[in-house]
Amino acid sequence: MTDNTSAAMKPVIPGPLPEGIAVRTAGADDVPALLELLRADELAAMGETSLSAGEVDEWFDTPRALERNTALVLQRDGVLIGVWRVFRNFDDKYWAQVAIDRSLPAELVDELWEGGLAWAEQVALTIADGLGVTGPRLDLWVNEHDALTRRHAEAFGFQQMRAFIEMQIDLDGYVAPKPDPASPVVVRQAEVPDDGAADLRTMYQVISESFRDHYDFQLRSFEDWVETKHSDQLADPTHWYLAEIDGEAVGGLMGHNSYLEADNAGYVANLGVLRQGRGRGVAKALLRTSFTRYAADGRSAVKLHVDAESPTGATHLYESVGMYRRLVGFDFHKWPRA
């Protein structure tokens, strides 16, 4: 086991728990109960849920996931009533997740939320210390109507940093506009049968370079990027497309199955256009190709998330191809040692 893995797996013992509450390490056998808990939490937070079993399975199904995830389940009378989780996205960035059964007494829910955030911070600091990182950041996601999570985030010192908008296009009867015959843009499906495929590295280069000027961008190595895709059960390279002008790749779109199980919807996980391709219809061509293919596959809609302050004006682009705004979520950050 590497030094990094040892640091990530170093246990952090939670502080005193309320009477009658037990805690233990989460495992693959907990997936059904965790899925039920997390779906109920999403319903309470935003009125709907799209969480799939595969997304929870991912916590436990690869060495990478096991090395980067630290999760505890909370039980009351032998029933799973909560989860505390930290995911190491980068060595200096840690995503915290707390979900507590909201049907429990409010005082107990609040106490377990407070304990969960304190535990998550200590986990992040412990792992960061083991990796030699002096200034780790803790991240938390808050949906716009989730007053409970917002209240605890703000009380614990998190700051709201950025809004992200979920957008959607409904595909019932969708017909893409006829392409402009004068357009130089050619869209083709990426061919990525294995890790040695040229299109795999091209997609990495296009997506990485096109996001350099976006909020909170952090470059991954090609090897780490590929490993991330392998650990993602819902990644769908059959819905990846490259856009070319004069034979040169200037844009890429990566489809994903995040919303397939719950909503029968396609999902655009990444869409990037290089500077030399911007303003030339590249993004629209990629989106319309994706919409047409998803419609042919029988999907009912396509979704994506966009930075509300995108420097490329992406929100207006998506509206121009027929997408509309649905939900808003916020990135909250805390620097424990700031």
How far apart CA 211 and CA 270 sit, in angstroms, is 10
For the segment 104-124, the average pLDDT, to the nearest whole number, is 97
pLDDT tens track for 309-323: 877 678 999 999 999
Does residue 232 carry a pLDDT above 80? yes
Q: What's the pLDDT at 13?
A: 81
Does residue 3 carry a pLDDT above 60? no
CATH class, range 3-151: alpha beta
Does residue 155 carry a pLDDT above 60? yes
Are 329 and 164 contacting, i.e. CB atoms less than 8 angstroms apart?
Answer: yes
Q: What's the pLDDT at 195?
A: 93
Q: With bands split at pLDDT 50, 70 and 90, how would you rate the model's confidence at 14?
A: confident
Q: What's the pLDDT at 313?
A: 76
How far does CA 324 lie from the centroid of its chain? 20
Residues of the chain with CATH 3.40.630.30: 3-151, 166-333
What's domain 166-333's superfamily in CATH?
Gcn5-related N-acetyltransferase (GNAT) (3.40.630.30)
Does residue 210 carry a pLDDT above 80? yes
Q: With bands split at pLDDT 50, 70 and 90, how would you rate the model's confidence at 10?
A: low
Are 233 and 259 contacting, i.e. CB atoms less than 8 angstroms apart?
Answer: no
Does residue 101 carry a pLDDT above 80? yes
For the segment 56-82, the average pLDDT, to the nearest whole number, is 94
Q: With bands split at pLDDT 50, 70 and 90, how would you rate the model's confidence at 8?
A: very low
Does residue 100 carry a pLDDT above 90? yes
Q: What's the pLDDT at 7?
A: 40
Does residue 11 carry a pLDDT above 70? no
Q: What's the pLDDT at 314?
A: 86
Q: What percent of the chain has pLDDT over 70?
A: 96
Our CA angle for 169, 141, 55, nearest 5°, is: 70
**CA Rg value for the chain:** 21
For the segment 192-216, the average pLDDT, to the nearest whole number, is 93
Place of tokens 């930075």: 307
Q: What's the pLDDT at 329?
A: 96
